[in-house]
Every structure is written in C-alpha cells, then in structure tokens.
Chains A and B, each alone.
Chain A
Amino acid sequence: MFYRPMFRFVPDGTKIRFMNGRFAGLIVSAVLSTASIILFFAPGLNLGLDFRGGVVLQVQTPQTANFPALRAALAEAGLKDAALQTFGSGGNGVLISLESRDSAAATQTSIQEAETALNQVAPGSKILSTQAIGAAVSQQLFAQGLEALGLSFVMILAYIWFRFEWQFAVGAVATLVLDTTKTIGFMVLTRIPFDLVTIAAILTIIGYSTNDKVVVYDRVRENLRKYKSMPLRELIDLSINETLNRTLGTSGTVFLAALPLALFGGNALSGFAWIMLFGIVVGTSSSIFIAAPILLFLGEHRLRRSAAMPKTATS
C-alpha cells in the first residue's frame, strides 16, 4: 500500500472501440438534453430562496410537530401561503416557508405573525434560523449570472481554438452546454433547490468537465502528430483508451470526495454534493461519448490533412 500501486481500473493495452457507440452516445445525449430543456420549462426548477425571494423559518418544536394544527394557526394569522416541511430526523424540525411580500415591512410583519402563531400551537418552540430575501434582488442576480456563464463559455471556446483547432473548441463547448442542460434536468427531477450554492456546484462541474475534455483532446492532438496515417476514428479510440486510467482515476477521486457529503453531509451539503456526483458521471462520460464523436464528425477529413501537412514539410 505504501510503495507499489495496489490496483488499476483497466489493464494496459485495453482496446475498447468507443467510437462504435458514437451514434448511440449522441442520440442518448440529445434525448436527455431535450428532455431536460422541456423539464426546465415545465414543471421548471425548484427555485431556492435566493432566486424566488420570500421567507424561510427553521423551527424546532418541543414535541413532534402537529402539522394540521400549525397550518390552521398560520392560516388564522393571515399566512395562507405558508408551506410546511419537516427536516432532520426527530420529527420536531419544521421549515415554514412564505412567499415574498410586496415590501420589506410586510415581510417583517409576516415573520412576527408566523412566530406568534407557532408559539400558540407549540409553546416553547425555538426559531433555529430565519432567512428573508426580497424578490427584486434575485432577478438581477440571475440575469447577471447567466451572462457571466455565457461569456466564460466563449472564453473556453477561444482558448481551445487558439491552442488546438476549431473542431476541438466547438466539440468541447457544445458538450459543456449539453452537460449543463442535463444537470438542470437532474435538478428539476430531484427538486433540489436552485440557489447560489447549487450554482456553485454547477460551475464546479463545468470546470471539472472542461478539464476532462481538454485532457482527452490533448492526447488526440499528440497522437495526430505521432501516427500520421492512422484513421481518425481509430486514433480517437486509441487516445481514449490510453487516457482511460487517468480519466477513471481523476473522476474516482472527485467522486470519493463528494460521496460522503451526499450521504452524511446533512441539509446544507447534500444538494450540492448530489449535483456534483451527477455532474462527475455526466462530465466523464460526455468526454468519451459526446466530445470525441463530435470531434470525429467535424474533423474526419480536415484534421488528418491539416495535422499531417507540417510534418511532411519538415521531414
């Protein structure tokens, strides 16, 4: 364990013909991404407090919470929009969420009304946390965030174009866009709230996924110079196989880091961690089944010649 490696994911000289699955990969991806876009419009993301605005009170009741009584008391106090949800394992943790109010003063009044109602139904309850966010702030944040994300994709496109060829750049960014849409679809299905924390998770995934694509492409570029007469399809297969242990190694470590957070991390971390786990699987497989086929289709004839030309000139 301390000197020699203990195991490998795949033996040396593995030759899996990944490009045989190029159509399957692209079709599955297209279907999943289309479904995700549909899901995005209906039923839509479960917007978190950061983007929806409103109030969330996290309270702890002395005994197991009596939901019907609590709901009635809240409605009595004029808070008909109050939504209740349990949290934690004891059965006495309750999340009370209210929709956003027209004014800051109205929000504060609602918070007090909720607290009063709570203390009538379950005297001795403790307010663990209060969170209130106006709706106006959030819209602006959201638009600005999307714009920044779009610009960073353009930046990735430009850099890969500059360092590789345009086919690589288009392949990478198209795959990143597909990855991101699938992550959104995953969030719609799991109802993980979309807030600033999960945005951070999506950005981390995009970073990870970019990294993974560049590593595979880098090997393709190297092999293009090394094997001048090999057909692109075989060459891409070879490159993926050669980097397979590194691909599985890196995705394995990130997966291992995120797994305990998803299982035991509690409310604050599990949403973030599940998105990460999903993103690692999607990001890793898309390097092989999406980014590589796109490169194959775009570069079938062009890449071979343009990469081989300088070599023939010098030799």
Chain B
Amino acid sequence: MLYFSRAKTIGILLLCGLGILLSLPNLSARPGFWPGFLPWNQVHLGLDLRGGSYLLLQIDTSAIVKQDLNSLVDETRQTLVHAQLGYTGLHADPAKDAVVLHPLDGQTQQDLTALQKLISYAPGATSPSVAIAQQPDGSIAISIPQATQAARNAQAVQQAITIIQRRIDGSGVLNATIQRQGQNQIVVQLPGISDPERVKTLIGTTAHLTFQMVDANAAPGPIAPLGDEVLPMASNPSQSMDVYSTVAVDGASLENAQASTDPQSGEWVVNFTLNALGARQFADITTANVGKLFAIVLDGKIIEAPVIREPITGGSGQISGNFTAQSATDLALLLRAGALPAPLNIVEEQSVGPELGADAIRAGAMALGLGFVLVLAFMGTFYGLFGWFANVALVMNLVLMLAILSVMGATLTLPGMAGILLTLGMAVDANVLINERVREEVKNGRKPLAALEAGYKRAYGTIIDSNVTTLLAHVTLFIFGSPPVRGFAVTICAGIITTMFTATVLVRLITGRWYISRRPAALPV
C-alpha cells in the first residue's frame, strides 16, 4: 500500500502541479509567457463580493403576438382589397392567436384562394407563417402556428440581447454579461457598477420612437375619436393630447442620434438624422402640415409636440424636452441602439452598491480564514505528524477545488466560500478514519509498517462507502434539482472527488516517503 512506482509518483505530482497551474489565474493577471494551449480561467466573484447588478428580464411575448396579429390584420385587408373581395368583421383575436373575418355570402372559396398568398416560409423554417382554416360558423381564421410563434419569440429574444448589448456598451459599463435563459428570459450581469438605476432604465426602456400628427379637431376628453389615440405627456402624465394613430415616421428609420446643447437656448437636446426612406416620409408630412402640431412619441408618451414652422426636407431634426445632460445622452444612446422588439420586464433584480462590500467581505474573509486555521490546528494537535500530513493534503485539496471551479468558470459568493470551507472540514474525515485505524492496528500489536498497511487498507472500505453514498445523493440532486441547487451539488461533487484523491492517495504518498526515509521504530499515534 505504501509503495508507489516511479510512474505513479510522477503522475500524482503532475496532477497536483496541474491543479496549481489552473488555480493560479485567480491570483494574478495573465503573464506574457503563459502558453496558449492552457486555459486561463478564473472563478467569478459573486455580486456580494464585488458589487454590481444582476437582472433577470423576461420578454413580454404577448406584446409580440399582439404586434404580429395587428400587422396580419393589415396584410389581410390589403390582400382582400387587392383581390377586390369584400368582407366583414375583420379583427385580431388574441385569445386564439388568430385574425378572424367573415366572408361575404358565396365568396368563401374565393377568399380562401386569395388568402393563400399570405402563406410563406421563413428561410429554414418548417412551419408556415400562417395557417388558414374555415371555422364552423362560416368565418375564416388566419392563425399563426405555435412553432412559428416560438421561432418569432426566439428571434425577438436574440434581437433584444443584441440591442441590450449595444446599449450597455454605449453606456460605458465594462465586463457585462448578457445571456439567454430558458425560452424567453435574459440574464444581465453588470459587475461593479455604481448607479444600477440608470442601467436599469437603459435596459428596461423599449425606446420605440414615433412621429405622429396631433389631431387638433378632436374634442378634449379621455375617449379618442376613431383613428385617434389619447397619449399622455411625458413631462406631466395628467395632461394628454389626441394624436392620429397612423404613424407618420417610425423610429426604425433613424440613422443616428446625438446629444448636444442648443446654441440659442443653451438647453440639452437630441439631434437625429433619418435614413433615405425616413427623410422622404418626414419631408412629405412636414410639407403637407405646416402650421400644425407634430407629436414626438416615445413608448406611448409624448415627449414634445412642436409646431411645424416650415417643411423639413434635410432628413434631420431635433428633440427638446427639458433634458439634463444625462437624460439627453441616454435618450440618444437608446435611439442609436434601436428599439427593443417587445417590452422587457425585470422579473428578478439584485443590486449591491460599492459601499456594502468592504465591511461584509472583511468580516466574512476573517471568519473563513479563522475556520480554516482552526481545522489545521485541530488536525495538528489531535494527530501530530500524521495530522500535518493531512493538512498538506487539505491545502492541496483547496487548490484542486479552486482549479476545478476556475475551469468551470463558476461564480463564488460568500456563502459558496463557506460551503467550500465546510467541505474541507469534512474532507479530513478520510484522514481521521485512516489515523484511527492505524492507531487501532498499533494497539493490536502490529509493527509500524504492518500497522500502516492494514490501517490504510481497512479504512478504504469505509471511506469509499461513505463518500460514494454522499456522491450519489448529490449526483441525484444535480440531475433533478433546480439551477441554484445544481450549482451547489456540482461544488460538493467536485469536493468529494478531490478529497478522495488528496486525503487518500496524496497522504499515502507522503506517508510512504516519510516511512522509507525514516524507518521509525514506533509510529506517532
């Protein structure tokens, strides 16, 4: 048991060396001589240790469905008008994910034939864009198949991620990670930011900009006439204005937006330029409506509604609305980055300001360090030399766990560190078992070498059984648990495996070397 072949010894030492190499990235920056084939992965520090924000966003899929159905209503109307067919009761039915219409008497077949044009296949898609079916009550339902809607939602999430990335990059926050989670959720992690509220606004704003004409003839009141909508003012939500529902120019036509101060008033404004299509629409609408009010609408709120003094044909304009330097800069950034495909809701949020960190971390680190030292001191006093051998293995165990967690890119929080410390506290159990066995064998009158051999051999059965039982329990937790429990189970499993290696193999190697060099007459047990 105590004899190791040269190859095995080298193998064990190489494994330890590899562990040290892989855990080094946690201590310093990447040096120039680090070979390219070796990974340079660090354990990530959790929010509680470095401050920052964690946001779990959920995309509002019902808004996407609503948008899609509304544009489907438009397409259906155009198709039928183009085919010179009449219809009644065309409307979107969100409950059925469908657009419903009643054909005129005897025209059902012609309608169905004409509507076939709506069916198309997106590149690579297996389900059609819409499915058309005649209902029992004689109406025609044009529905969006589930698979198509799911693909649309997935696309929207992807698009939202790209836009969030652009907004965050533009705001100067470094090292943000943005990931998709599940079907329609996005996780945003922002390490070390000092103003979480600002970033939250930047991410959570849909930023859908439209230009709409104000309906000056509408009677004031909460109910809008047909074709109009009542929108609140951004500066004072209790005031509102009637605007035409038809969008004159959409923010999607924006090419650029910059914040600057107006040379005359000295106020902060946002200057924008439109692309060719937008510039033409803008020129048309302003030429036709000189002297009328023109509303600039952001996410359903009117930022301002200036009077059109003269036709604007250059494709550029200015938005002013009591901005501060910060809000003008942020609006320009939002407009440049583009609108989100659908509103995002913040489902979960965790923000830790920079002030919290220091004290909590100091207390935590001190307690963790003290705990580790106490474990080492206990082993040393309780088992003497063999206890110190176990302590060497324990430090190595910590290094190996750190290496595994680094390679996995795990996130370490303060409680996570406590978990690791306790895993280490339990890891010495293997050495306790071995030392107690060796002691028993010595009491039974065996010679040192025989006592060591028998002690290790007998303790192994127990170590394997107790560790495998715990390992199996945590593997089960990993397979069936929810994500946070899984992360914990992985850490414990990694700990059990490194423990089996350091507490048995490594300690045995050290003990064997010690025995061969000293040949003691009695064991220190």
Residues of A59-89 whose CB lies within 8 A of B: 60, 88
Q: Which residue of B lies closest to A111 (CB)?
A: B349
Task: Please measure, in the bound complex, the distance between the C-alpha atom of A104 and the C-alpha atom of B468, giving whole angstroms.
Answer: 44
Q: Is B422 an interface residue (CB 8 A)?
A: yes
Q: Is A315 an interface residue (CB 8 A)?
A: no
Task: Please measure, in the bound complex, the distance between the C-alpha atom of A148 and the C-alpha atom of B489, giving whole angstroms.
Answer: 11
- Determine how close the nearest CB of chain B comes to the CB of A3; give it in whole angstroms: 5
Counted as pairs of residues, one from A and one from B, with CB atoms less than 8 Å apart, the total is: 249
Task: Please measure, in the bound complex, the distance between the C-alpha atom of A8 and the C-alpha atom of B360, giving whole angstroms.
Answer: 37
Q: Does B466 lie within 8 Å of A259, measured CB to CB?
A: no
Q: Is A21 an interface residue (CB 8 A)?
A: no
Q: Does A257 lie within 8 Å of B422, measured CB to CB?
A: yes
Q: List 28 A-B contacts (CB under 8 A).
A: A1-B384, A6-B381, A129-B350, A131-B350, A145-B482, A152-B476, A155-B475, A159-B468, A199-B484, A200-B419, A200-B488, A203-B474, A204-B423, A204-B492, A206-B473, A207-B470, A207-B474, A208-B426, A211-B429, A214-B465, A219-B462, A260-B370, A264-B366, A265-B364, A266-B359, A266-B367, A269-B367, A269-B414
Q: Is A122 an interface residue (CB 8 A)?
A: no
Asked whether A210 and B428 contact (CB < 8 A) given A126-B355, A130-B350, A264-B366, the answer is: no
- Determine how close the nearest CB of chain B comes to the CB of A263; give it in whole angstroms: 7
- Determine how close the nearest CB of chain B comes to the CB of A239; give it in whole angstroms: 12
Asked whether A5 and B383 contact (CB < 8 A) given A134-B348, A148-B485, A256-B371, the answer is: yes
Contact of A148 among B363, B414, B428, B480 (CB under 8 A): B480
Measured between beta carbons, the chain A residues less than 8 angstroms from B468 are: 159
Q: Which residue of B lies closest to A90 (CB)?
A: B359
Q: Does A218 lie within 8 Å of B466, measured CB to CB?
A: yes
Q: Is A132 an interface residue (CB 8 A)?
A: yes
Residues of B350-386 whose CB lies within 8 A of A: 350-353, 355-356, 359-360, 363-364, 366-368, 370-372, 374-375, 378-385
Q: Is A127 an interface residue (CB 8 A)?
A: yes
Q: Does B355 lie within 8 Å of A155, measured CB to CB?
A: no
Q: Is A107 an interface residue (CB 8 A)?
A: yes
The number of chain A residues touching the other chain, given as a range, is: 35 or more
Contact of A58 among B356, B426, B470 (CB under 8 A): B356
Which 5 pairs of residues, A with B, have the shortest CB-CB distance? A257-B425, A104-B345, A266-B363, A148-B481, A265-B367
- Determine how close the nearest CB of chain A comes to the CB of B427; give it in whole angstroms: 9
Q: Does A5 lie within 8 Å of B381, measured CB to CB?
A: yes
Q: Which residue of B lies closest to A131 (CB)?
A: B350
Measured between beta carbons, the chain B residues less than 8 angstroms from A131 are: 349-351
Size of interface on B: residues with Cβ below 8 Å to A: 81
Q: Does B356 lie within 8 Å of A263, measured CB to CB?
A: no
Measured between beta carbons, the chain B residues less than 8 angstroms from A312 are: none
Q: Is A252 an interface residue (CB 8 A)?
A: yes
Asked whether A260 and B367 contact (CB < 8 A) given A108-B204, A137-B348, the answer is: yes
As a 0/1 sequence over residues 206 to 245 of chain A, the CB contacts with chain B under 8 angstroms (1 = contact) are 1110110011001100000000000000000000001101
Q: Is B525 an interface residue (CB 8 A)?
A: yes
Give residues in B with beta carbon < 8 Å to A. 48, 56, 58, 196, 200, 204, 345-353, 355-356, 359-360, 363-364, 366-368, 370-372, 374-375, 378-385, 387-388, 414-415, 418-419, 421-426, 428-429, 432-433, 436, 440, 443, 461-462, 465-470, 472-477, 479-482, 484-485, 488-489, 492, 524-525
By secondary structure, the B interface counts as: helix
Task: Please measure, in the bound complex, the distance between the C-alpha atom of A245 and the C-alpha atom of B443, giving whole angstroms.
Answer: 14
Task: Please measure, in the bound complex, the distance between the C-alpha atom of A1 and the C-alpha atom of B380, giving whole angstroms.
Answer: 7
- Determine how close the nearest CB of chain B comes to the CB of A152; give it in whole angstroms: 4
Measured between beta carbons, the chain A residues less than 8 angstroms from B466 are: 210-211, 214-215, 218
Task: Please measure, in the bound complex, the distance between the C-alpha atom of A2 and the C-alpha atom of B462, giving whole angstroms.
Answer: 27
Measured between beta carbons, the chain A residues less than 8 angstroms from B345 are: 103-105
Q: Which residue of A88, A126, A163, A260 has the most chain B CB atoms within 10 A of its CB atom? A: A260
Q: Does B387 lie within 8 Å of A242, measured CB to CB?
A: no
Asked whether A163 and B425 contact (CB < 8 A) given A200-B488, A252-B378, the answer is: no
Q: Is A253 an interface residue (CB 8 A)?
A: yes
By secondary structure, the A interface counts as: helix
Q: Which residue of B lies closest to A266 (CB)?
A: B363
Measured between beta carbons, the chain A residues less than 8 angstroms from B436 are: 243, 245-246, 249
- Determine how close the nearest CB of chain A comes to the CB of B366; give it in whole angstroms: 6
Measured between beta carbons, the chain A residues less than 8 angstroms from B196 are: 130
Q: Is A302 an interface residue (CB 8 A)?
A: no
Q: Does A5 lie within 8 Å of B371, measured CB to CB?
A: no
As a 0/1 sequence over residues 118 to 155 of chain A, the CB contacts with chain B under 8 angstroms (1 = contact) are 00000000111111111001001100110111011111
- Determine how close the nearest CB of chain B comes to the CB of A162; give it in whole angstroms: 10
Measured between beta carbons, the chain A residues less than 8 angstroms from B473 are: 152-153, 155-156, 206-207, 210
Task: Please measure, in the bound complex, the distance between the C-alpha atom of A232 and the C-alpha atom of B116, giving whole angstroms.
Answer: 83
Measured between beta carbons, the chain B residues less than 8 angstroms from A3 are: 384-385, 524
Task: Please measure, in the bound complex, the distance between the C-alpha atom of A207 and the C-alpha atom of B427, giving whole angstroms.
Answer: 12
- Determine how close the nearest CB of chain B comes to the CB of A273; give it in whole angstroms: 7
Contact of A254 among B387, B422, B443 (CB under 8 A): B422
Q: Does B484 lie within 8 Å of A141, measured CB to CB?
A: yes
Task: Please measure, in the bound complex, the distance between the C-alpha atom of A146 and the C-alpha atom of B422, giving whole angstroms.
Answer: 23
Q: Is A306 an interface residue (CB 8 A)?
A: no
- Determine how close the nearest CB of chain A comes to the CB of B186; give it in whole angstroms: 13
Q: Which residue of A lies closest to B201 (CB)?
A: A108
